[in-house]
Amino acid sequence: MTLDSVPQPNSPEARDIAYQMHPMVDQRRYEKTGGLVIERGEGVYVFDSSGKRYIEGLAGLWSVALGFGEKRLADVAYEQMQKLPYYHTFAYRTHGPAIDLAEKLVQISPEHLTRAHFTSSGSEANDLVVKMIWYRSNALGKPEKKKIIGRIKGYHGVTIAAGSVTGLPNNHRSFDLPLDRMIHTLTPDYWREAQEGESELDFSKRMAAALEEMILAEGPDTIAAMFGEPVMGAGGVIVPPEGYWAEIQAVLKKYDILLVADEVICGFGRTGKMFACETYDIRPDVMVLSKQISSSYMPLSAILISDDFYEPIADESHKIGVFGHGYTASGHPVATAVGLENVKIIEEKDLVGNAARLAPLFLSRLADLAKHPLAAASRGVGLLGALEIKPWETPNAAAAAVAEAMMEEGVICRNIGEALCFCPPLIITEEQVNAMFDGVATALDKVAAARAAAAAE
């Protein structure tokens, strides 16, 4: 099925239209076209309801590190369901899987991050971090220090606070977002925004100067924290230019502003290091993890915090008598058991090393595709990348057309604006990387031929 086909009556696609409302779609368009029904997955592949096989080039939603059908995760989930299918971490209670995963995350994360708190999604986690930042400012006797800096094109989720830190217009429009405590600085998009003759380092210094100018205009004593993805994902895979994070961190340190590293997409090996903070020498006060933490087999996210971040919050909870926050599924035993096994498999199979080893091939194939007449540029790090397509008369139509043609060739990616974004499972092989990009090349040729034929008519 394509997005231009009409679902047959009583088909899964038709029933889906009748009974389910979907996220991130044009609802009226979905009523007409329906969606692609995926029935099963195996390794880097998924299969639709007709049996057609696709390489899942975005690992689901940037998330299925181990690919599909990892039996060890299914076995662990089943065993935990039998032993303790649910318990909470409220009111002085805990359980083994949450303890074990918290310990593991602290052990493998940057040394200064010493405690973990669990939620169920990146949006929930980032939303809670905002609340914790405000709670901490009050604990420190700085009730005015509440503003949060995000970045234009940054993505941190869709809940009210996290969605406000997000810097994508379509996540704000008609939702009455962002909240007025959220402000946004520039996107470090060197390819689009660099001035003529400007080096990457000079561009990074200009981004830092713009950040400092914003801080001074708002008042440093009113700004509590800045959120940033080490590599911006949903904004179109925007890789930081040379020196960017060093320059940004210097400004934040100068004005006593916390840094929250959103590693929801980058964490657990995506950039060729266990965490992208290692790749870019970032020292955050808070690190947010999700997606690849459990390969999204179970809803799970984690917030890792430093002692400096934790201590004022702990003191305030003692003063009040409680840290008045929690979700029913925080630290869910099945989710945390699966998360722990997932991390063990990443380590045992050296999937971080696999990402580092395959990165040169992955990035060189993207660079070769960027030479196609329809393409404009490529970018990436590790096994995370994007191919920029030259725009057509209708905004975003070019990448959408190529993405549709790629599905016909058995490759799924995500088109964001005019960028085709790739983030395959970390288990991918050299042969599969080549097969994925061979499919992209064929799709580009077919779209170019169809466009030329249409122009000739």
Structure tokens of 417? 């604006």
**pLDDT value at residue 10:** 83
Instruction: Characterize the bridge pairing of strands 258-262 and 286-289.
Output: parallel
If you average pLDDT over residues 181-194, what whole number do you get? 97
What does 145-201 look like in DSSP terms, one character per residue?
Answer: --EEEEETT----SSHHHHHH---GGGTTTTT-S-TTEEEE----HHHHPPTT--HH
Note the helical H segments in 255-408. Answer: 276-279, 307-320, 333-348, 351-369, 397-408
The CA distance from 440 to 366, in Å, is: 10
> What pLDDT score was predicted for residue 1?
46
Name the 3-class secondary structure at 271.
Answer: coil
Name the β-bridge partners of 46.
41, 54
Q: What's the chain's length in residues? A: 457
Mean pLDDT of 386-402: 96
Instruction: Give yes or no for a contact between 281 and 246, defined as CB atoms under 8 angstroms apart.
Output: yes
Cβ burial, residue 234 (10 Å; 0-12/13-18/19+): buried
Calculate mean pLDDT across residues 120-135. Answer: 98
Please report the sign of the dihedral spanned by the C-alpha atoms of residue 436, residue 37, residue 332, residue 69.
negative
* DSSP bridge partners of 118: 302
- Residues 86-99 have a mean pLDDT of 97
pLDDT bin (cut points 50, 70, 90) of residue 4 is low
Q: Do 136 and 313 form a contact (C-beta atoms < 8 A)?
A: yes
Which domains are delineated in the chain?
Answer: 36-69+350-456 (3.90.1150.10), 72-348 (3.40.640.10)
Provide mean pLDDT across the span 282-295: 98
Please state, in angstroms and rounded to a whole number, the distance separating the CA atoms of residues 384 and 231: 9
What value does the mean pLDDT of the chain take?
96
CA dist., res. 268 & res. 114, Å (int)? 17
**Does residue 261 have a pLDDT over 60?**
yes
Residue labelled with tokens 């975003």: 396
pLDDT at position 5 = 63
pLDDT at 455: 85
**Overall average pLDDT of the 120-138 stretch:** 98
3-state secondary structure of 249: helix
The set of residues, in sequence order, having a beta carbon less than 8 Å from that of 11 and lying 6+ positions away, is none
Question: Per-residue pLDDT for 18 more than 60?
Answer: yes
The token pair that represents 319 in the structure block: 């003063």
Q: What average pLDDT does the segment 25-50 reach?
A: 95
pTM: 0.95
